[in-house]
Structure 1
Amino acid sequence: MAAEERGRVAVLGAGLIGVDLADRIARSSKLQLALLAGHRRDSMCLRRAAQMGHPTAAGGIRSVVECGPFDVVFDASHAEGHPRHWAALQPTGTTVIDLTLAGQGTVAVPGVTVYRPAAHQHLALVSCGGQASIPLLHAIAQRCTPRFIKVVCVGVRTGTGPATRLSVDRYIATTSAAIRAFTGTRDVEVRVGVSPAQPAPPFRVAMTVVADGFRPAPVRTSIAVAAGGVRAYAPGFRVTSLAVDPGRISVAVEVTPSSRQLPSHAGSVDIVNAAAVLLAEQSATVAR
């Protein structure tokens, strides 16, 4: 697309997530990065983004509002600030994609939700564990009626930001609610772990589904199709183990970043950012 035909977008938040988003957007054929806004001009990430040629500002949400309107704004800041950011952006008519754990907006998972821009101006990406597990769990739920679902998300300490570590309860609540909504299962348990292993392993999510009356072959096929759908936008996503036994389905996945901006253990960032950019591209295409 020509520059004037691409969606004009901004990123709010100049941490690792925001800088990686900026790089992905700059390489998109459907999006045009118009602003990366942080809060401190002297921050390492904002300086790095400017050196990469990205347009930057240090006024946070104020800069986004002043430089707008935008077709899409990614909120990659923090859950506590998101309600205020949404309140400031809602009157502008922009589509806001929330990468925090605020738990607001319409939950969006590529390949599972259907994007309708008129109704979905405020999209929420749940969490890295939600993005990695929900496509497979939703596929399984089409083949059986789960009675219990357990999801264990394991990252590494160096790949888990302070905001996420302080918001484990919010992470669990947001992810659990989304899994219930997409599978129809009331009994859901989500756990979050941190691996001390060195070298740092990839981001890993293990799922256990307890259900009766399913046929193993269709379940395996549905999981394979769903995993292939995720790999279409997050190439480092892969199923590492799968067991389909009477009454129980166990599946584990790992995510290795395909982004050049992320370390090998930051698959948790990769899968959320990949989903966010895909949704923004769909939004920009529909808007035009």
Structure 2
Amino acid sequence: MPSHRTIGVAVLGAGLIGLDLLDRIRRSPWLGCRLVASHRQNLGLIRAAETGLPTTTGGITALMDAIDGIDVVFDASNADSHAKHWQHLEPTGVLLVDLTPSNLGTATVPTVNGADVPSERHIGLVSCGGQAAIPLLYAIAQHRTPRYVELVSTGASRSAGRATRLNLDEYIDTTQRAVCHFSGAPTARVLVNLSPATPPPPFRVTLTALVDAPDSEVMHQLVQAAAQRVQAFVPGYAVTALETGHDRVTVTVEVTATGERIPAHAGNLEIINAAAIQVAELRADALHPEGARS
């Protein structure tokens, strides 16, 4: 798509997630950053300004003053602030993409229900664990609806910032709701481990689904196909284990970060940011279909 057909985007939050988002926006031929907004001056905002981007410490208020020409807003702040951000943005017509576990927007996983993006105004990306596991879980559910799902996410303590730690309860609740929604399972349990180990462990998610008489060959085909769809925009995504028994399927996936900004072990940031960019580019396709991605 020619540069003049890009859509304008803004980022709320200038932490590590926000900075990595800015790198991805800069590399995208369909997106152009119009503003980076935070509630306080920090190193992330300083670095964003050093790249020539317009920045502000005025938060959502300043963003609203500059909303003309912005089609998508990425909320990379925290779950507690997100409701206020949506209250301001709802009347504007922009698409709000929520990277926090607020559970307020329409739960969206690009390879599962990404086709619905053009009709949405408020999208929630669930969580990093949800983005890693739900594509595989949804594939499993096409063969057998789970009776129960357990999700265990393990990440390096270094890759979990202040907002992540403050929102762990919301993370668990939002992910459990999304797992049940996308799989049809009546109950689910989500566990989170933050490891202080050195060297830092990779981001890893293990899902166990209790199902009736799973066909091993069918499960392998469905899971591998689902993983390939995610790998199209998350190259560091890989299924590392897949086991089937008489009443269960267990899958482990690891995500390695491949960007310049974040370390390899921070796959949790990699996958949710990649999903956010994918959603915004789907929005760009809808706004400018003549420049749709090949």
- The question of a shared fold, defined as TM-score above 0.5 by the shorter chain, is answered with yes
| Count of equivalent residues | 287
Query: Once the 2 structures are TM-superposed, how far is the Cα of residue 39 of structure 1 from its aligned partner?
Result: 2.0
Matches within 5 A, 1:223-262: 223-262=223-262
For 2:269 and 2:53, how far apart are their aligned partners in 1? 20
Letter in 1 for 2:54: P
Aligned to 1:24: 24
Aligned to 1:154: 154
Matches within 5 A, 1:75-224: 75-117=75-117, 119-224=119-224
Q: Percent identity?
A: 46
Larger displacement relative to structure 2 (269-278 or 211-220): 211-220
Query: Once the 2 structures are TM-superposed, how far is the Cα of residue 246 of structure 1 from its aligned partner?
Result: 1.7
C-alpha RMSD of matched pairs (Å) = 1.2
Aligned to 1:65: 64
Letter in 1 for 2:196: P
Query: Once the 2 structures are TM-superposed, how far is the Cα of residue 168 of structure 1 from its aligned partner?
Result: 1.7
State the SS of the aligned residue for 1:155.
Answer: strand
Query: Once the 2 structures are TM-superposed, how far is the Cα of residue 52 of structure 1 from its aligned partner?
Result: 2.3
| Contact 1:22–1:54, Cα closer than 8 Å, also in 2 | no
Query: Once the 2 structures are TM-superposed, how far is the Cα of residue 3 of structure 1 from its aligned partner?
Result: 2.7
For 1:150 and 1:118, how far apart are their aligned partners in 2? 31
State the SS of the aligned residue for 2:120.
Answer: coil
Letter in 1 for 2:234: A
Larger displacement relative to structure 2 (118-127 or 273-282): 118-127
User: In the alignment, does 2:9 pair up with 1:9?
Assistant: yes
| Contact 2:146–2:210, Cα closer than 8 Å, also in 1 | yes
Query: Once the 2 structures are TM-superposed, how far is the Cα of residue 25 of structure 1 from its aligned partner?
Result: 0.4
CA distance 1:116–1:144, shift in 2 (3 Å): closer
State the SS of the aligned residue for 1:230.
Answer: helix
State the SS of the aligned residue for 2:79.
Answer: coil
Matches within 5 A, 1:35-74: 35-41=35-41, 43-69=42-68, 70-74=70-74
For each residue in 1:172-194, what CA deviation from the matched residue of structure 2 results, as whole angstroms up to 9, or x when unmatched? 11000000000000121110111
For 2:40 and 2:167, how far apart are their aligned partners in 1? 23
Letter in 1 for 2:47: R
* Unpaired runs of at least 5, structure 2: 289-294
Q: TM-score, normalised by structure 2?
A: 0.95
For each residue in 1:145-204, what CA deviation from the matched residue of structure 2 results, as whole angstroms up to 9, or x when unmatched? 211111000111111112221222211110000000000001211101111221001111
Query: Once the 2 structures are TM-superposed, how far is the Cα of residue 118 of structure 1 from its aligned partner?
Result: 5.8
Query: Once the 2 structures are TM-superposed, how far is the Cα of residue 121 of structure 1 from its aligned partner?
Result: 0.5
For 2:118 and 2:158, how far apart are their aligned partners in 1? 39
Letter in 2 for 1:4: H
| Contact 1:133–1:205, Cα closer than 8 Å, also in 2 | yes
Query: Once the 2 structures are TM-superposed, how far is the Cα of residue 214 of structure 1 from its aligned partner?
Result: 2.3
| Contact 2:201–2:265, Cα closer than 8 Å, also in 1 | yes
For each residue in 1:116-154, what CA deviation from the matched residue of structure 2 results, as whole angstroms up to 9, or x when unmatched? 356410000000000000000000000112111110001
Hey, which bits of structure 1, 4+ residues long, moved more than 4 A? none
For 1:152 and 1:217, how far apart are their aligned partners in 2? 24
CA distance 1:241–1:247, shift in 2 (3 Å): same
For 1:181 and 1:260, how far apart are their aligned partners in 2? 34
Query: Once the 2 structures are TM-superposed, how far is the Cα of residue 219 of structure 1 from its aligned partner?
Result: 0.7
For 1:99 and 1:33, how far apart are their aligned partners in 2? 17
CA distance 1:114–1:277, shift in 2 (3 Å): closer
For 1:264 and 1:88, how far apart are their aligned partners in 2? 36
For 2:269 and 2:255, how far apart are their aligned partners in 1? 9
For 2:9 and 2:118, how far apart are their aligned partners in 1? 18
Letter in 1 for 2:156: V
More helix per residue: 2
| Contact 2:25–2:32, Cα closer than 8 Å, also in 1 | yes
| Contact 2:7–2:31, Cα closer than 8 Å, also in 1 | yes
Letter in 1 for 2:88: A
| Contact 2:11–2:35, Cα closer than 8 Å, also in 1 | yes
Query: Once the 2 structures are TM-superposed, how far is the Cα of residue 68 of structure 1 from its aligned partner?
Result: 1.2
For 1:186 and 1:3, how far apart are their aligned partners in 2? 47
Aligned to 2:291: none
